[in-house]
Amino acid sequence: MPDEIETLLRKAAGERNVIAMGGGLPSPRQFPRRALVEALADVVLQPAPQALQYAWPEGAEGLRERIAEHMRSRGAAVEPDHILVTSGAQQALMVAAQLLCPRGSRILTDPETYPGALELFRARGITPVPWTGAPSPDACAVYVMPAVGNPRGVAMSEEARHGLLASGLPILEDDAYGDLRFDGPGPRPLCADAADRVFFIGTFSKTLAPGLRVGWLVPPERFLEAAVRAKRDADLQANGLGQAIVERYLQGDDFARRLEKLRAFYRRRARRLASGVRRELPGWRFGFPEGGFALWLEPDAPDCPGGELGLLRAAIEEGVSFDPGSGFRPDRASHPLALRLCFSALDPDELAEGARRLARAWRRISARA
Ligand code: PMP
């Protein structure tokens, strides 16, 4: 993220009167706080609490069994021994990138994709390049979100899925939002069809809480040992307390019901924001998402004076912030003008008010044109 945008967003985040529509945070209303406290008490009060002890880098066996069960329910037969528990999906991405992509290599991505992945690739000297579907034998891998993309919130088309599998390239399959499709469980992961070259990346950040820092990686079997070593070198093991809490939580029978509740909750929030935007900014284009936390919007007059930075400044002055589109683009382009608005962490009246404030900022900017 360019320094100026980051400075503006950080400053805005500290201001109580600014409605933060960026960031992609899960709803604080949906953290299963009571269940997490009970799980915490349970694992810490054990006579010899493994949750507080050093453990093996691959992660707790019981948790890996639960993750394997969950992946089976999505149609991917994964053995617990093939799962590496990581500090969130972010570390899973880092381990996969480390194993596949040497400094100086190129990685293919969607034309808009998760900024945290783009930043990670660039920091490791890997150049992200938008994938056109054309053969690219010199690329180290393709980074995709087949079930629910970030920022657009839609699944990869069948055609793109087939094209990707036929490309023969190694694949980083980021399933961060895969359990949060509004219409039910996500599609069969790509790793079920090409386990020998797909690195599957999962997380409990969006479905339980990001503060737990528990995610996972399923690398192709021949990369497993190297992945465990890379993980161990980075931080010895994922947070033992977080792992134990998640494992304990998953032993209850609540997770499937919880996912259903979350899907309905986030769909309602998405509708609310969509109707606010349609009302306040009728010319702006967006597709209604199939899942996830956000809308990707393209204003009707893409040449706004001052560009996205000008719009962000005006928006913050009006009391609303958003994620500028350039952060999602492999080439950092801020044209055509686009932005991400998250509906996930805000209440319905804040969503409506956020859209109103953004429309005021847009009118001010447009008047200058
Ligand atoms: N992938 C995507 C697509 C994400 O949106 C995020 C979080 N914003 C991550 C990975 C990282 O998630 P985690 O908290 O599990 O590290």
pLDDT of residue 12: 86
Is the CB of residue 294 less than 8 Å from the CB of residue 182? no
Nearest alpha carbon to residue 171 among 107, 124, 98: 107
Q: Is the pLDDT of residue 121 over 80?
A: yes
Separation of 48 CA from ligand 1 center, angstroms? 33
Q: Mean pLDDT across the stretch 62-90?
A: 97
Quick: pLDDT tens for 180-224.
999 999 899 999 999 999 999 999 999 999 999 999 999 999 999
Q: Mean pLDDT across the stretch 146-174?
A: 95
Q: 41-50, 68-77, 298-307: which has the minimum mean pLDDT? A: 298-307
Which residue from 114, 231, 266 has its CB within 8 A of the most atoms of ligand 1, so it is best to mutate?
114
Separation of 94 CA from ligand 1 center, angstroms? 12
Pick the atom of ligand 1 nearest to 215's CA: 15
Q: 138-147, 277-286, 295-304, 320-329: which has the minimum mean pLDDT? A: 295-304
Q: Report the pocket of ligand 1 as residue ranges, CB < 6 Å.
A: 24, 88-90, 114, 116, 145, 150, 174, 176, 203, 205, 210, 215
Q: Is the pLDDT of residue 129 over 90?
A: yes
Separation of 89 CA from ligand 1 center, angstroms? 5
The fraction of the chain above a pLDDT of 70, given in percent, is 99
Is the CB of residue 191 less than 8 Å from the CB of residue 200? yes
Q: Is the pLDDT of residue 98 over 90?
A: yes
Q: Is the pLDDT of residue 303 over 80?
A: no
Pick the atom of ligand 1 nearest to 177's CA: 3
Closest Cα to atom 2 of ligand 1:
176
Separation of 224 CA from ligand 1 center, angstroms? 21
Q: Mean pLDDT across the stretch 110-118?
A: 97
Confidence of residue 302 (pLDDT cuts 50, 70, 90): low
Is the CB of residue 147 less than 8 Å from the CB of residue 186? yes
Q: Is the pLDDT of residue 300 over 90?
A: no
Is the CB of residue 175 less than 8 Å from the CB of residue 202? yes
Closest Cα to atom 6 of ligand 1:
176
Separation of 222 CA from ligand 1 center, angstroms? 25
Quick: pLDDT tens for 224-256.
999 999 999 999 999 999 999 999 999 987 899
